[in-house]
Amino acid sequence: QVQLVESGGGVVQPGGSLRLSCAASGFSFSSYGMHWVRQAPGKGLEWVALIRYDGIDKYYGDSVKGRFSISRDNSKNTVYLQMNTLRAEDTAVYYCAKEPRWQQTVNWFDPWGQGTLVTVSS
Amino acid sequence: DIQMTQSPSSLSAFVGDRLTITCRASQSISRYLNWYQQKPGEAPKLLIYGASSLQTGVPSRFSGSGSGTDFSLTISSLQPEDFATYYCQQTYGIPLTFGQGTKVEIK
């Protein structure tokens, strides 16, 4: 059974940094792309970043480009989101999500982890 | 960026009702459209991909249709567990974008 468990959330001051982790199990991690999607409190969903299964290609949403960086360690079955220069508007629950198809990028999300809350506040 | 607009933003319905949620893209996206369901305090769940393909395990009362710029999600007979927020998402181009959501409440 596929499991995705996010960690690393917490409270950080504006301008600070945080690294989120998503530990995966139950599937061949190195053969699937991974995404981060966020949801501000009481708001809708916003796609943040994608890393292809091979880790070569990475893509970002407009609001985080240049500040956030996605990476993966296939030996640890883990995907990361390094978040720098954090702003109040980055406050959200951050979900990791799996690409559904083996070694393909279809850009939909199934399944999702339970999420980790990041709060940017002084 | 491709903008996705859902309507309505919220609705109230009875158990057993048939309801339809619509999603419009700001440009043609062929059939690169997915639907998700999110219940309070939970992560979203994939319902429909490729505009009309039902994800494994999703009840057949859910269906999707459309192509180009106009899409719809239909629930043929609303069940108590279907009260949730529904999101459309386009996969035609990066950045990937979602509609603003449609909250379905009990009447």
The 10s digit of each residue's pLDDT in A12-68 is 999 999 999 999 999 999 999 999 999 999 999 999 999 999 999 999 999 999 999
Please report residues of B whose CB lies closer than 8 A to that of A107: 32, 91, 94, 96
Phi, psi of B91 (to 5 degrees): -120, 20
Q: What integer pLDDT is reported at residue B106 of this predicted model?
A: 87
Please report residues of B whose CB lies closer than 8 A to that of A114: 43
Residues A65-77 pLDDT 10s: 999 999 999 999 9
DSSP code for A112: B
Q: Give the nearest partner residue to A108 out of B1, B34, B99, using CB atoms.
A: B34
Residue A48 CA to residue A91 CA, distance in Å, equals 13
Q: Give the nearest partner residue to B100 out of A37, A44, A62, using CB atoms.
A: A44
Q: What integer pLDDT is reported at residue B107 of this predicted model?
A: 87
Residue A19 CA to residue A51 CA, distance in Å, equals 16
Phi, psi of B81 (to 5 degrees): -75, -5
Q: What integer pLDDT is reported at residue B36 of this predicted model?
A: 98
Please report residues of A whose CB lies closer than 8 A to that of B94: 50, 59, 107
CA-based angle B82:A49:B99, to the nearest 5? 35
Residue B68 CA to residue B27 CA, distance in Å, equals 8
Give me the tens of pLDDT residue by residue for chain B, a chain 107 residues long: 999 999 999 999 999 999 999 999 999 999 999 999 999 999 999 999 999 999 999 999 999 999 999 999 999 999 999 999 999 999 999 999 999 999 999 88
Q: What integer pLDDT is reported at residue A95 of this predicted model?
A: 98
Q: What integer pLDDT is reported at residue A25 of this predicted model?
A: 97
